[in-house]
A and B are shown apart, each in its own frame.
Chain A
Amino acid sequence: MTEINEPKEASLEKNSVAEPSPKAKPKVISLRKLKRGQSAIINSISAEGEMGRRIRDMGLIPGVHVKCMGHAPLKDPMAMRLMGFTLTLRNNEADYITVTA
């Protein structure tokens, strides 16, 4: 079995169709703040315990590209695209995650 260990960059840059932001400076914001259609890279995850585990199990780890797909009709939960699938999470769960947008 081949040993592969390059954990520096956490994930493949799939979905890297992120349109270049008109504002040049990338800022770190809460995942919740992403607008529909806006792409970002996950910066940090502060959730621990069950929540932290569930979030990571679904592939939300630093370095991953996400794109906001919008919000439910009552503005919560939110939906986003990452790694080729769509994930939803509640706004208060998204608060554990910061992204660079």
Chain B
Amino acid sequence: MSSDTVSVIAIAGNPNSGKTTAFNRYTGARQHVGNYPGITVEKKGGTAHIDGKEVTLVDLPGTYSLTAYSMEEVVARRVLAEDRPGAVIDVINAGVLDRNLYLSVQMMEMGIPLVLTLNMMDEAEAEGLNINIKRLEELTGLKCFPAVARKGEGLDDSLRAALALAEETHGRTNPLEISYGTDLDNSLLDMTPIVENAKLLTDMYPSRWVALKFLEGDKEIIHRATMANKEASDKLIALTDKVTKHLKDTLNTYPEAVIADYRYGWISSLLRNGVLEIKDDVLERTATSDKVDAVLTHRFVGPLILIGILYLMYYITIEVGNIPLGWTQTFFDWLHDLAGDSIQSAALRSLVTDGVISGVGSVLGFVPLIIIMFFLISILEDSGYMARVAYMMDRIFRIFGLHGASIMPFIISGGIAGGCAVPGVMATRTLRSPRERLATILTVPFMMCGAKIPVFLLFTSIFFKQNQAFIMFSFTLLGWVAALLVARLLRSTLIRGQATPFVMELPPYRLPLLSGVLIHTWERAWQYIKKAGTVILGISILIWAAMTYPGLPESYHQNIDSQLALMAENTAGLPEDAHNLISTNLENSESSQALRMSYAGRLGTFIEPLTKGAGFNWQTNIALIGGVAAKEVVISTLGTAYSLGAVDPDDSSSLQQRIEADPSWTMANSMALLLFTLLYSPCFVTLVVIKQESGKWRWLFFSLFFNLTLALVVATIANQVLSA
């Protein structure tokens, strides 16, 4: 181990123990967030300064235990074993000592040098708990400090002690050995020497601990041990099977359960041994929180408030978010014009304005939305309300293989028409169940996002004039139906697997700390800009190139030029208006031709046979291909394809007249187009965020191709049925 491990201190603790608050207090803004390779668990690090020394801090994911079921636990255990921090500050919620010490015991079993930081001491005392810190130190042999992380109390003492401990132990101390009852103790006596002799993972873990993990049936450790030494591992498995059978026959239980019982037993005897005293006069603890819950999770009032809060979330994110969004758009339009005026070369001008500036604009355009959304979500999470949302909604979402907390991403993505799937997909961070989270990520793009709306407005204003509002509403509902049904489908096929246990803590309500909320929000926005931003910029240039190149042949330009010259001659006597009109028409037909000849245009023409069933011609196809860049583009590209010039999505009356007059547009194929627009591939910004949040490229491609296929099938059926 390198010598600098001494100054690395890890922070561990249960979720809701105030661990993140402590970490924020230590590091302030000096922190960085990344992902552990290949998985979506956040890797948080930072630096703290104390007594003139700089300390590197690692914030472990919040876990209740160190088994290897959840990704967070695997990560926490690996960091402890392989990165070997010099010491660990274990942040404990003093009000829930028993359960928080369960994690501490497991770290002590691993031989990790610990400092216990008893957080929220003020609340614990107010609740009538009397904790004898000295006695706790005596019995555990660990340094323990009372703390109030929100106010920064007790944190320096913990860090100093952790540093001293790190220098003394260099990350390893004698593991705690407790009894797990006669049967298991005897098995451990047989198994530990086998582990020792075979040196089975003993470079990282204590030998008795490795044996214990075999008894617990810990898949990760057993797998790694088998890789290292199959013979020794088989012996250990045989011994485990023997005692497992014995326990089953005699006590109808199994080793893992017994081990957990004995750990808790150890903790409760410790607490009863003069550590914890509960004053009798305080009868009901967390009483205030219960009173709030009596209203917020009330049978009738609770759901009403929930709807109100969800609507408010949505309203602020989307409606208020659109204000700064407008500013960024104005700024980029200005930049677009500026560059357009100052660059001479046509090809370069097009690259800079339509490729780069539009691309950067579309990356940054989402930033205000993401910032506002995460700001609000952090408040809901830190206050404890998010857990109540999951609690109230779970019964419905579980039917579709999702989780109660899935509702938030759905709403933000357009569960109320007009959302956006980019912050929606990112909002799935609040879900801790991996399968439910992935199913949510993959289905939120079916929602009626704000960019789809102009397409709906245009076509409903032509073909469904009488009941435009009703159709819009129905399609918003249809988005929900599609998302939930696809979620159900995915959860019984590709993301199959039992529901992740819901077992969840409802933390007491707390006032969120502004600093924590701001740090959290900034981290997310920065991650989006840094990680998704580069990819999005690259793809938007690609899409620009596909819609621009190879361009029209030289002969076509000459043809147009000669027509213009001819026109100039023939129209010499006409007023300037008419002159302009004709030349605009010529230019528009030129851009229409250019679009048709581009790679995207050729693709659109090429796939016409495929989309014929749905009633889409090549113009529609190109528009839909352009829509992968951003759904608003469908309208403007359709305008270009119909030789109308680029149509403003917010004012598409010229396109409306053109389509009304076009006999190839009917109620049937316009309905098909709307269905297709609702369901087909997410825009590529969403696709990139899907990759980022799921951690795998394969889900990006899945979203692209599965959604396209689904949309095409649905649109074809609709067109055929309606035109029959």
Q: Are B503 and A87 in contact (CB under 8 A)?
A: yes
* Closest A residue, CB atoms, query B301: A73
The smallest beta-carbon distance between B369 and chain A, in angstroms, is 30
Chain B contact-residue range equals 35 or more
Q: How far is B362's CA from A62's CA once the two chains are assembled, in angstroms?
A: 56
* Closest A residue, CB atoms, query B302: A73
Q: Are A4 and B506 in contact (CB under 8 A)?
A: no
Q: Which of B64, B181, B264 has the most CB of A within 10 A?
A: B264
Q: Are A77 and B395 in contact (CB under 8 A)?
A: yes
Interface residues of A in 2-30 (CB under 8 A from B): 2-12, 14-15, 17
Q: How far is B256's CA from A7's CA once the two chains are assembled, in angstroms?
A: 15
Residues of A near B514 (CB, < 8 A) are none
Residues of B near A8 (CB, < 8 A) are 265
Q: Are A83 and B139 in contact (CB under 8 A)?
A: no
Q: Which of A4, A48, A77 has the most CB of B within 10 A?
A: A4
Residues of B near A54 (CB, < 8 A) are 69, 501, 503
Bitwise, B263-286 to A at CB < 8 A (1) or not (0) is 011101111110010100001111
Q: Are A83 and B99 in contact (CB under 8 A)?
A: yes
Choice from B270, B285, B289, B502 contacting A90 with Cβ under 8 Å = B502
The smallest beta-carbon distance between B324 and chain A, in angstroms, is 36
Residues of B near A58 (CB, < 8 A) are 64, 99, 503, 505
* Closest A residue, CB atoms, query B64: A57
* B396 within 8 A of partner (CB): yes
* B691 within 8 A of partner (CB): no
We find that the number of chain A residues with CB closer than 8 angstroms to chain B is 47
Q: Is the interface of A mostly helix, strand, loop or mixed?
A: loop
Q: Are B96 and A85 in contact (CB under 8 A)?
A: yes
Choice from B96, B174, B266, B297 contacting A4 with Cβ under 8 Å = B266
Q: Are A5 and B265 in contact (CB under 8 A)?
A: yes
Interface residues of B in 39-85 (CB under 8 A from A): 64-65, 67, 69
Interface residues of B in 242-301 (CB under 8 A from A): 254, 256-257, 260-262, 264-266, 268-273, 276, 278, 283-286, 289-290, 293, 297-300
Q: Are B271 and A12 in contact (CB under 8 A)?
A: yes
Choice from B139, B264, B499, B505 contacting A87 with Cβ under 8 Å = B505
Given A56-B260, A58-B99: A6 and B269 within 8 A (CB)?
A: yes
Bitwise, B329-364 to A at CB < 8 A (1) or not (0) is 000000000000000000000000000000000000
Q: Are A62 and B261 in contact (CB under 8 A)?
A: yes
Q: Are B391 and A79 in contact (CB under 8 A)?
A: yes
Q: Are A7 and B502 in contact (CB under 8 A)?
A: no
Residues of B near A89 (CB, < 8 A) are 501-504
The smallest beta-carbon distance between B312 and chain A, in angstroms, is 19
Q: Are A5 and B395 in contact (CB under 8 A)?
A: no
Given A83-B96, A90-B394: A6 and B502 within 8 A (CB)?
A: no
Q: Which of B97, B139, B297 has the most CB of A within 10 A?
A: B297
* B127 within 8 A of partner (CB): yes
Q: Are B141 and A12 in contact (CB under 8 A)?
A: no
Interface residues of B in 184-198 (CB under 8 A from A): none
Q: How far is B297's CA from A64's CA once the two chains are assembled, in angstroms?
A: 25
Residues of A near B512 (CB, < 8 A) are none
Q: Are A51 and B268 in contact (CB under 8 A)?
A: no
Residues of A near B65 (CB, < 8 A) are 53, 57
Q: Are B278 and A59 in contact (CB under 8 A)?
A: no
* B176 within 8 A of partner (CB): yes
Given A4-B270, A5-B179, A7-B266: A56 and B502 within 8 A (CB)?
A: no
Residues of A near B266 (CB, < 8 A) are 4-5, 7
Q: How far is B554's CA from A23's CA once the two chains are assembled, in angstroms?
A: 97
Apart from A56-B257, A84-B285, A87-B504: 10 A-B pairs, beta carbons within 8 A: A1-B141, A10-B261, A12-B272, A48-B256, A50-B501, A70-B297, A74-B395, A84-B129, A87-B506, A90-B394
Please, could you name 11 A-B residue pairs with CB atoms under 8 Å apart, sorted by A? A4-B178, A7-B262, A17-B284, A53-B69, A55-B503, A58-B99, A58-B503, A59-B98, A72-B392, A88-B387, A88-B391
Interchain residue pairs A-B with the least CB separation, the first 3: A7-B265, A74-B395, A1-B141
